[in-house]
Structure 1
Amino acid sequence: MKDRSSIPLPKLNADLELLQTIYETALIPDNYDDLVDTWSVRLENALAQVEDTDLDGSQDMVTLDLSESIRYLDTSLRLFERLDTARRLEKQTPEAERASLPKLVLDAAGKVVWYNSSALRMFALSRQSTAQTLPMDDTSRRRLESELATLGQEVERPPGPLGRHLPLVVLLHPPGDGAQVFMIGQRLAQHGQPDLLVLDQADTGWNEAIEAVLQGSFALSRAETEIVARLAEGETLSQIAKARNRQLSTLRTQLKSVLRKTQTRSQAQLVRLTLSLASHLDASGADLSASEAPFQVHTLPDGRNLHFRTMGPPQGAPVMFLHGMLDGLNIGATFLQELTTRNIRLIAPERPWFGAAPGYDVDIPQVPDTLAADLTHLLETHDLNGVRLIGHMAGSVYSFTLAAKAPERVRGVLNVAGGVPIRSLTQFRHMSPRQRTVAYTARFTPKALPLILHAGVRQIESGGVEQFVRALYARSPIDLAAFETPEIGTTIADGVRFAVAQGYRAFEIDSYHVVRDWSARVAASKCPVGLLHGRHDPVVSAASVEAFGRTLGARAQVQIAEDAGQTILFTHPRMALDALERL
């Protein structure tokens, strides 16, 4: 290993242009591209002083001296966080609230094991929330606790009027002046563990489809549609007038117009029409939601919870999917259909800080090993053997770590568009400009990484998903073309939102690991390996993958698709599954 004690660190100095760009981005999230460009110039200039051989085989990382600018970066990050808090509070419009209704999940012990952002905001939830701390009256709490007590048992409920079991209904009282919320509880079966209880807001099911019908079929204006939505949610005209800062007489005039256009004679008949539309649209869309994977929670020995989904035949051959930074758990319709055809049961855990998954209270370098231990417990609990792993993009680090942790249960690893251990600056220089800047930051100036990632998350949350993704694939026409297709574009956009659902923490962890030399994790695993990669991948070059394959020797099968990029899992799903079956 090279002795670096006498080598001065390259300096990355603060300057007025950089600081001005940081502050402008804090105020205008769409300026993120300008921030990355400005930061990139300084990184590239500083790294011109670093020799390529300085990275080769060394874990003694080269870093850049940020001593002159780190206090500005820290101050800027705090500014971003404060502005974000205010922006999120201001952004809670009626439309946004209707688009994301509160949902939470409790286990048999009464612990809240999962909740979405609406439930978090509405009921002031935390990771310590339980049935005892939920804001509800005594009657509802008794009903809830009675239901929780039965989660480990087979319970026969009295049938309802349609021959269905009656669901649990409880009333929650949001702190402050929030309106009371009726929540419907449904049991969710768990393999080998007590059932969970899912609480959903009892709602008309208002959505964009209902708005489209009202506006398209009855020619309602946007303002008139909002009045119908609020009436359907139980508000009075007086409440609507107050919320919209309008005169009650104006609302009465608008309501008359709505009744005339919809050919209804009263508010009651109008609400009945809305409920009928909601019921019909829910029924017609049932087939679309039927393919969604069931949500499951695995309880670990120390009481922590691991979230995962399963897809494909329940008795199919077990395959675990370890997602990357920007893909989430949406694998696409073709891939999903092929699971049934090939009799594959896909188990897809949510990694820490992604989606709604709990985070880890460990240092970033320890995250892969901690996750591998948790996933090993999941495999052992379900007695799964001969499991093949799919590591997608950044998931490759975690797939090799798990293969090394559970060699008796893992049969093989397939990395799709996966990363490889980074051992030279040449590997960085292949990356597209946006991804190279983030990678340089993660490797050489890790203290600045939270600021850069936080700024990117702010752009995404401000509606800039498409702008963010296009910058990532700026030098990959094949990937841009894939993003243009409706299904793949939606999948990628959903994956980006999944990655930033809890802020930049998930990005920070993955960025740290994928830009380092993690060869030791690979060497610790002994199973067969498949490496499927697109020739036009803008992040990891095909040459790097081929070189990585050679280091693995006879245990590796390398396949380079000449007509694919980083989106190969979505553009070539059958090719990926064919490669999996060869392991």
Structure 2
Amino acid sequence: MPDREIDLEIVSASWQSLTDTEGYDRMMEAWDRKLAHAARSPGLLDRILSRQLHAIDDLLSSDMDIKVEDPIEAAVRETPAPAMVLSPDGRVITTGGGGEHWFGVKQGALAGTEWLRDDSRGNYDAVRRTAGGRGNAAYAIVRTVSENGAEQLAEVYALTVRGHDRGYTVVRSLELEWYPEVSANLSQAFGLTDAETEICKLLFRLRETPLIADERGAQAETVRTQLKRIYAKVEVGSKVDLVRMLGLLCARAALNRETRSMHYADPLGRETILHRADRRRLAYTWCGAEHGAPILFVHGEIPYFALPESTRAMLRARGLKLICLSMPGHGNSDPDPSREQIDDGVAAIAEFCDRLGLRGFGAFASYSGQFPLTRTAARHPHLFSGVMVLGFPWNLCETRFKAMPLAQRTLAGLARRAPVAFELVIRLALRRMLEEGPDFYLSRAFDGTPIDLAAIHDPEMQAPLRSGCRHLANQGHHAFVREQLMVAHNHLPDWFGDIECPVHYLLPPDLGRFRREDYEALKALGPTVTVEQVPDAGELLPYQRPELFVERLADLTGEAPGRVFAARDSGVAAA
């Protein structure tokens, strides 16, 4: 296909990808052809194509509506009231409308039943059984109890998602929450005093004048007088009209709180924010034994922070503390836009270890996280006693790059040869993920590994994976862009020769059709490198082989991790 025809296909599909997935996939196929054709001719983007892509970029920068098509996200976004979606084992998949505060839960964590009144437990459990395929009670009204003892009504219903093994449970409050914006709007629009806005808030919650008076420690007649002044200011004729108007203001405030990004909250509930020397935030959390042997985890695109309770129990039993650092630009850690991601990451790791007094301990990295972690090990020879890495770097050898699935190969090629076009493609991908949900990203990120594709459709995996997607997209598309550009333009051989501690690679043998030359390329990085193939696992190894994962982490804390790793080396014959 001539260059201009490919360009027209790219432009056409890019416009279509603003509204549907078919257009996005057509665009990726066209870019793949463009990259293959451009390998035989100079230049990738001319002025005509650049101008067309710039127009799409401008539109993305405008205030375009986001139409949520993901049924799980839609369940919480189509109502302004507090809501949450639970997996079959009761883990919080997502929340909306202030659901975390309202129900006292966290995304990715178990919801428990503390928020549920005891006599509603039977109806709630019946709906959950139906969602799991073992009942026929698809809907119920229950009563919830807040921390201060206030009771509210909520609906509970079963949600079936096409392609997922089992159903989900949706819990949505039938009440609206009062946000600070409502008080501010009443004050600005109608000139209400602080005392009058507080009366409005209590009226919305309690409805009855005597109850408001009791709450404020005032006479009922005083409250009635204040209400009359409020009626006059906001120009309503009765308490019913005022409550109706307050409900509309609360609904508007809740809807306005919906963002164009995927808000991340630590599912472990332990996130700590450090402030770096330049005052930027650096977030971390941990799991396992609080006073156990420390192991630093440096993530790639998707973090494995939200480990199942059974895995966390194994860590506690082995006396291991997995310290999970959010890299700059990810989660709630601030990036330095003036620095490359790898330099920002190395500085963050070194400063973090110094602040926590960590030295001579083990570290683990997944996929692109291996770049900043191993470079840190090279620059600070005595910081780590051993390093373990999950995942093969696609830029280590050309045969590996060519063997990647189409979507991954195309993104990698654009990152290497056309970073401006690459960023536009990622912005389009984020839009599709916001509309269609994390499955859009996950199905493409794990394309080519059937064991991982099967895992992402397991409802129990949705909680940790969606939490990981929020961690990646919490600050928009920039984290993914910086991560991929880091891999595209940095090469492990440039610094591996300076690493003194043992480096052990865990590689699923079916991941991208692992070859003999792949094994040899890893071994050639340095004499301290060992390679272990792990069957029955993919990129989601910590979830698929939890016992092995914990055992390998324990190896890092031993007296001679290099000797243990050498004994586990699969050898070239196995490749």
Name the TM-score class by shorter chain: 0.5 to 0.7
Q: Is the 8 A contact 2:280 2:333 kept in 1?
A: no
- Checking the alignment, whether the CA contact within 8 Å between 1:29 and 1:462 is kept in structure 2 is no
Q: Counterparts in 2 of 1:241-260, with a 5 A limit?
A: none
Partners of 1:322 and 1:346 in 2: CA distance: 10
Structure 2 counterpart SS, 1:459? helix
Question: Which residue, 271, 282, 288 being the options, matches 1:295?
Answer: 271
* Distance in 1, Cα, partners of 2:496 & 2:344: 16
1:560 offset after TM fit, Å? 0.6
1:77 to 57, 66, 70: 57
| Equivalent residue letter for 1:349 | L
Q: CA deviation at 1:512?
A: 0.8
Q: 2:381 aligns with which of 400, 407, 412?
A: 407
Matched, 1:16 2:21: no
Deviation digits for residues 445-495 of structure 1, max 9, x if unmatched?
A: 112111111111111111332233223333321212222333334322321
SS in 1 for 2:363: strand
Give SS of 1:488's match: helix
- Residue 529 of structure 1 is aligned with which of 492, 498, 503? 503
Secondary structure in structure 1 of the residue aligned to 2:295: strand
1:474 is matched with 447
Which residue pairs with 2:23 in the alignment? 31
The residue aligned with 1:248 is none
Amino acid at match of 2:175: A
- Whether the aligned pair in 2 keeps the contact of 1:322 and 1:349 (CA below 8 Å) is yes
Give the letter for the 1:477 counterpart.
P
Would you say 1:459 and 2:443 are equivalent positions? no
Please name the residue that 1:371 is paired with. 345
Shift of the alpha carbon at 1:339? Answer: 1.4
Instruction: Determine whether 1:392 maps to 2:338.
Output: no
* Matches of 2:329 and 2:400, distance apart in 1: 27
Distance change in 2, residues 1:239/1:80 (3 Å): farther
User: Do the aligned partners of 2:18 and 2:432 also contact (CA within 8 Å) in 1?
Assistant: no
CA distance in 2 between counterparts of 1:398 and 1:433 reads 26
- Which of 310, 313, 337 is matched with 1:361 structurally? 337
CA offset digits 1:40-92 (Å, max 9, x no partner): 23223323x28xxxxxxxxxxx973444422222221121221447779xx99
Aligned-pair CA distance for 1:223: 12
| Aligned AA (2:541) | I
Deviations for 1:117-170, whole angstroms, at most 9, x for unmatched residues? 999xx9xxxxxxxxxxxxxxxxxxxxxxxxxxxxxxxxxxxxxxxxxxxxxxxx
Contact kept in structure 2, 1:534 and 1:563, CA below 8 Å: yes
2:497 aligned partner, one-letter code: A
- 2:503·2:529 contact (CA, 8 Å) conserved in 1? yes
Gaps of at least 5 residues in structure 2 are 69-73, 85-94, 103-113, 128-137, 143-152, 158-170, 180-203, 208-239, 249-264, 556-560, 562-575
Distance 1:18 1:496 in 2: 27
Deviations, residues 336-361 of structure 1 (Å, cap 9, x unaligned): 22210111111111112212321223
CA distance in 1, matches of 2:328, 2:390: 21
Q: Does 1:313 align with 2:305?
A: no
Q: Structure 1: which amino acid aligns with 2:358? A: L
Match status 1:443 vs 2:423: no
Cα 1:491/1:221, change in 2 over 3 Å: closer
Distance 1:419 1:15, change over 3 A: closer
* TM-score normalised by length of structure 1: 0.62
For the 8 Å contact 1:483–1:489, the answer to whether it is kept is: yes
- Residue from 176, 189, 213 that aligns with 1:230: 176
Distance (whole Å) between structure 1 residues aligned to residue 405 and residue 242 of structure 2: 52
Give aligned pairs, total. 417
User: How far apart are the structure 1 equivalents of 2:66 and 2:435?
Assistant: 13
| Gap regions ≥5 residues in structure 1 | 1-9, 51-61, 101-116, 123-182, 185-203, 246-288
* CA distance 1:551–1:46, shift in 2 (3 Å): same
Q: 1: distance between equivalents of 2:376 and 2:64?
A: 36
Letter matched to residue 412 of structure 2: A
What RMSD in Å do the two structures reach over aligned CA positions? 4.1
Indicate conservation of the 8 Å contact 2:268/2:285, yes or no.
no
In 1, are the aligned partners of 2:81 and 2:174 still within 8 Å (CA)?
A: no
Matched with 2:146 is none
Distance in 1, matches of 2:344 and 2:546, equals 30
Higher mean C-alpha displacement, 22-31 vs 227-236: 227-236
Provide the residue aligned with 1:337 in structure 2: 313
Q: Does the 8 Å contact 1:546/1:558 carry over to 2?
A: yes
Deviation, 1:423, is 3.9
Paired residues of 2:66 and 2:434 also in contact (CA < 8 A): no
Tell me what 2:33 maps to. Answer: 41
1:34-113 alignment to 2 at 5 Å? 34-47=26-39, 49=40, 64-84=44-64, 95=79, 98-99=82-83
Q: Are 2:430 and 2:477, in contact at CA under 8 Å, matched by a contact in 1? A: yes
Q: CA deviation at 1:221?
A: 10
Mapped to 1, the partners of 2:29 and 2:379 lie a distance apart of 40
- 3-state SS of the aligned residue for 2:37? helix
Say whether the 8 Å CA contact 1:536–1:566 is kept in structure 2: no
Under a length normalisation based on structure 2, what TM-score does the superposition of the two structures give?
0.63
Paired with 2:66 and 2:458, the residues of 1 have a C-alpha distance of: 35
What one-letter code is carried by the residue in structure 2 that aligns with 1:72?
A: Q
CA distance in 1, matches of 2:4, 2:554: 48
TM-superposed CA distance for 1:415, in Å, is: 0.3
The code of the aligned residue for 1:400 comes to T
Verify the 8 A CA contact 1:318 1:386 in the aligned structure 2.
no
Distance in 1 separating the partners of 2:374 and 2:272: 24
1:417 touches 1:567 (CA, 8 Å); kept in 2?
Answer: no
How far does residue 96 in structure 1 lie from its aligned partner after superposition?
5.5
Match of 1:141 in 2: none
Other-structure match for 2:458:
485
